[in-house]
Structure 1
Amino acid sequence: MAFKSSKHVALAAIGMAAALGAAWWFQKPAPPRPPGSAAAPAEAGRSAPVTVTVQAQAARQMTLRDEAQAVGSLRSRQSVMLRPEVSGRVTQLNFHDGQRVRHGQLLVQFDDQLPRAQIRQSQAELSIAQANHHRNQELVAQGFISQRSLEESAANLEVAQARLALAQATARQLQIVAPFDGIAGIRSVSVGDYLKDGADIVNLEDLDAVYVDFRLPERLQGKVRTGQRAQVAFDALPGVRYAAVVQAISPQIDADGRAVAVRGCMDNRRLQLRPGMFARVTVGFSERGDALVIPEEAIVPEAASPYVLKIVAGPQAGSRVARRTPVRLGLRAPGWVQVLDGLQVGDLVVTAGQQRIGKDDTPVQVAPQQDAGAAAPASPAAGNAADTADAAMAAPLPGPDPCQSPLPDPRHAVG
């Protein structure tokens, strides 16, 4: 038994000695190589840089628009729900549903027999008061009555005139007229209905021009101005865009959404647009025809200092290397970004394969299909208006633009 244990210890000692010898052999320094001798193939492979195949595109100049997109809703330029001021029974409806009506047109007549009788009574009293006052003027001139009698007759005349005006105003309250030119909606009453004051009768909409209300981020409140042009597209009207003019900007920033409310106006004499429609608005602030742009996939974000991998000539003839180049960015368009500083027209930047480039001056080989440069797409500005790239602008109609026409004087809006 003791003999077997000694044998095992000896074998273990021999194995450890062999392992230590092998470790010393592999770790000892290589003997010096004579000058001019060729390196071993393995060492040559480790020292030679690896060429990375990448895709690249050249920086080019294109037209870029500084613009913002938003969603909004349409509103009538003028809209009102007609309601009676006093209670009464409907005796006439002088319009049809959806009919165009004119300013001052009588739309609804209530029962006015009592006010008309009061008007006739007031007119008779006024005639008597006028005759008495005229006669007293003659008598005062002849000295038959005192001046006080003339003053009393004048006061009676004014009272009679006021009673007639009151009767006429009461009768007018029983007539509902159109406050402006527009299109009547669908009525909710019929002849013979007895309505309480304030009951809904019919809505009236001025659709020759419509407003589009939308919101822009507060950072843009210094750029938007009244009179600026905007393009508006609608999901309900695919392939059609309308031109809008910014007419009003809210003086207050919405504290909830940190946005500013903006209102634009559009010519709607074609009557294609309806209040309540969903709209996609693109507001243009400026246009730059010589913006230097590169594909957005070429940008490598790094905190506040983005950079690109620029392809430059390498140390060997015909070779190329990638070099990290910081850039300052400007406007953006779908798939493109403007470079304000760091590149020039024609500079080649890596668009795919950046993750395989570990350090500057890494040799690169540009994929043949990209080396010559892909066909330049249309101006990035053409794609800035999402969902409207293939839409056609609605041609302006002859005649004055209703958005430029002043609204009726509110003091004379009701006839």
Structure 2
Amino acid sequence: MALKNKYVVFAVLGLAVASGAAWWFQSPARSSRAGAPAPQGNAAAKPGAQSPAKPVMVEATKVRQMTMRDDAEAVGSLRSRRSVVLRPEISGRITQLNFSDGQRVRKGQLLVQLDDQLPRAQVQQSRAELSIARANHKRNQELVAQGFISQRSVDESAANLEVAEAKLALAEATAQRLRILAPFDGVAGIRGVNVGDYLKDGADIVNVEDLDAVYVDFRLPERLQNKVKTGQTARVAFDALPGVQYSAVVLAINPQIDADGRSLAVRGCIDNRRLQLRPGMFARVTAVFGERSDANVVPEEAIVPDGAAPYVLRVVAGPEEGSQVAKRTTVRLGARTPGFVEVVEGLAPGDVVVTAGQQRLQRDGMAVRVVELGQPSAGRSAAGAEAPATASSAASQPVSGAATAAAPAALPPLPGANPCQSPLSATTQPTPVRGGQSS
């Protein structure tokens, strides 16, 4: 038992000696006296004085003003402003085809004539019957006035006259339906019939397209429903026509949101009097919601994300002459464009913000020194910064190298009235001369 107590005492003493030695060597005052050189001059008189902090080297740039467009990108397809597939309403044999494939046609032009010998004969017969009915009714009116016949005979002759008139109208309408006319000015497609073919009612003959103006249908996210308005412009580019850009005008917005895709259907109109665009083409649409020529922008790398309150480090003058410090400044961001971000609140033109080295600034107000190690990626294209920038509201899409090499050139407007500004009648009166059915 005595031996065990002896071991315990030795263990306690050993721990005490080790703790004291550790405290001795880790003491700041002891280590500074042991490793520091002998004090010299006035420096030895201030044991608590510290040397000034060394400035942190950072890269910075000035806030600049650019023309920013608030827009959104989408894809869509072209369709004719007016399109119809001509179909006969009555079966018959083709006797005339008065158009060629791809020919421009005029409204009311006779395109297809079906065999109308029998209907014309029925028209002549109905006219003869009408003439007899009219004469009988006139004679009965004279006889009833003289009291030779009853009023009932006059009523019967009047009814026969109305029946004869209806038969003539029916025969004429049947004959007219064998004449298929162009419902509007347009371009005829490629026909699939020939003279002598027998067509059943509803068989396709040829399509007619109004190509003076074409519609571009596209969809935008539902979050942009308050931005898009009728009358706004949109820029439209086509993969099939590289290097060319068209201008479209928003004509209509679907009042209903697509529940499946949570998107809003929009229709624009493009002046196509050059006849370079065709229905069905794939289109890349950039809907422009607004444009600001004095937007304050900074490079993307200057923004430090911090939840809902992003900030920048602004370089300002320090307390000492010639010194500079970094001040944290909360900003409110606006539209974005590749390489730049619009700052709506928090900065003014000419302010200097840090673009590289933010991670070395551990606290607000640290001394910094701006170095010229190279311009930030967004600032390397100074020439491009002077051009109007595009601020995309929709998700950005990858752009091919060929597309970034040169922006598509916008086509100048054509002289004369824009067909997109000419209203089209939404309704058409059913007439027997139009032998077509809209598609």
Q: 1:275 deviation in Å?
A: 0.6
Q: Distance in 2 between matches of 1:74 and 1:252?
A: 21
> What secondary structure does 1:293 align onto?
strand
2:26 aligns with: 27
CA contact 1:333–1:380 (8 Å) conserved in 2: no
1:221 pairs with 2:221:
no
Q: Distance in 1 between matches of 2:28 and 2:57?
A: 36
Write the letter of the residue equivalent to 1:336: F
1:77 aligns with: 81
Q: 1:327 deviation in Å?
A: 0.9
Write the letter of the residue equivalent to 1:352: A
Write the letter of the residue equivalent to 2:347: L
Instruction: Write the deviation string for residues 82-127 of structure 1: whole angstroms up to 9, x where unpaired.
Output: 2222333222221111011111222222222222221121111112
Q: Distance in 2 between matches of 1:303 and 1:157?
A: 87
Instruction: Write the deviation string for residues 267-321 of structure 1: whole angstroms up to 9, x where unpaired.
Output: 1111111111111222222222222211122111111111111112223322222
Q: 1:36 deviation in Å?
A: 5.7
1:411 aligns with: 429
1:381 aligns with: 388
1:107 aligns with: 111
Q: Distance in 1 between matches of 2:338 and 2:387?
A: 7
CA contact 2:140–2:157 (8 Å) conserved in 1: yes
> What secondary structure does 1:410 align onto?
coil
CA contact 2:315–2:354 (8 Å) conserved in 1: yes
Runs (5+) with no aligned partner, structure 1? 1-15
1:164 pairs with 2:171:
no
2:327 aligns with: 323
Write the letter of the residue equivalent to 2:203: A
TM-score, normalised with respect to structure 1: 0.85
CA contact 1:56–1:370 (8 Å) conserved in 2: no
Q: Taking every aligned residue pair, what percent have the same amino acid on both sides?
A: 70
2:150 aligns with: 146
Q: Distance in 1 between matches of 2:94 and 2:228?
A: 49
Instruction: Write the deviation string for residues 226-282 of structure 1: whole angstroms up to 9, x where unpaired.
Output: 122222222222222222211111010011111111111121111111111111222
Q: 1:78 deviation in Å?
A: 0.5
2:184 aligns with: 180
Q: 1:364 deviation in Å?
A: 2.3
Q: 1:163 deviation in Å?
A: 0.9
> What secondary structure does 1:233 align onto?
strand
Question: Taking structure 1 as reference, are residues 384 and 328 closer, same or farther at Cα in structure 2, changes over 3 Å only?
Answer: closer
Q: Distance in 2 between matches of 1:187 and 1:193?
A: 12
CA contact 1:64–1:379 (8 Å) conserved in 2: no
Runs (5+) with no aligned partner, structure 2? 1-14, 393-398, 435-439
1:133 aligns with: 137
1:304 pairs with 2:308:
yes
Write the letter of the residue equivalent to 1:264: G
Counting matched residue pairs gives 397
2:355 aligns with: 351
> What secondary structure does 2:180 align onto?
strand
Q: Distance in 1 between matches of 2:339 and 2:229?
A: 28
Write the letter of the residue equivalent to 1:381: P
1:11 aligns with: none
**Which piece of structure 1 moves more, 201-210 or 83-92?**
83-92
Q: 1:152 deviation in Å?
A: 1.7
Write the letter of the residue equivalent to 1:26: F
**Which piece of structure 1 moves more, 386-395 or 226-235?**
386-395
Q: 1:37 deviation in Å?
A: 5.3
1:262 aligns with: 266
Choose which of 202, 206, 209 in structure 2 pairs with 1:205.
209
Instruction: Write the deviation string for residues 46-73 of structure 1: whole angstroms up to 9, x where unpaired.
Output: 9653433322111122222222222111
Q: 1:370 deviation in Å?
A: 6.1
Question: Taking structure 1 as reference, are residues 335 and 367 closer, same or farther at Cα in structure 2, changes over 3 Å only?
Answer: same
1:391 aligns with: 408
> What secondary structure does 1:287 align onto?
strand
Q: 1:21 deviation in Å?
A: 9.8
Write the letter of the residue equivalent to 1:27: Q
**Which piece of structure 1 moves more, 184-193 or 350-359?**
350-359
Choose which of 330, 336, 342 in structure 1 pairs with 2:346.
342
Q: 1:156 deviation in Å?
A: 1.1
1:4 aligns with: none
> What secondary structure does 2:385 align onto?
coil
